[in-house]
Chain A
Amino acid sequence: AQTVTQSQPEMSVQEAETVTLSCTYDTSESNYYLFWYKQPPSRQMILVIRQEAYKQQNATENRFSVNFQKAAKSFSLKISDSQLGDTAMYFCAFRGSGYALNFGKGTSLLVTP
């Protein structure tokens, strides 16, 4: 079974600064998908960014980018120019050959003025 580990339960960053959230996973599969989801206080799950394992190029979505290290099974999220609205729980998720998304326990990010 795949496991997803987020080792930082809580993080804090000042507005306009850059923060990196870490995620590691364990799998024996070679083809899979990785995701970062944001969950604000409203508890809605919002897709931030997605990475296909067969793509070597790191995914980027505006201020959000990932550092995907397939050999190390690492998938970190970098948020540049942090904004107050980025305050939320961030979940890393893995999908392999099955149908299920397997989530990590989350990192609570607080952006301070």
Chain B
Amino acid sequence: GAVVSQHPSRVICKSGTSVKIECRSLDFQATTMFWYRQFPKKSLMLMATSNEGSKATYEQGVEKDKFLINHASLTLSTLTVTSAHPEDSSFYICSARDLTANYGYTFGSGTRLTVV
């Protein structure tokens, strides 16, 4: 089945630094990938839709300059949290869908970001 690999799984960074999270579709091509943020005991909040070869589409209230998304190939999307602050600490998850298969979205294993 479809596999999405997300790295790193955990990262601790200092305030003011930037962190890059990678999301790869391993056995299928994904023209579209999705980035979510999840707070404890809460559901997934869609941050943005990553489009291969074009600009990402951000959800209302999500800062484009804060969360930079790049989707340079059909198998890789990256999310960069710029000038991170403690309030950016969260669980970030990406997903993609194999359009050749008749099932839902495949999620990465998530990245736990802690900003100290």
- The answer on A and B forming one complex is no
- Residue positions of B touching A, CB distance < 8 A: none
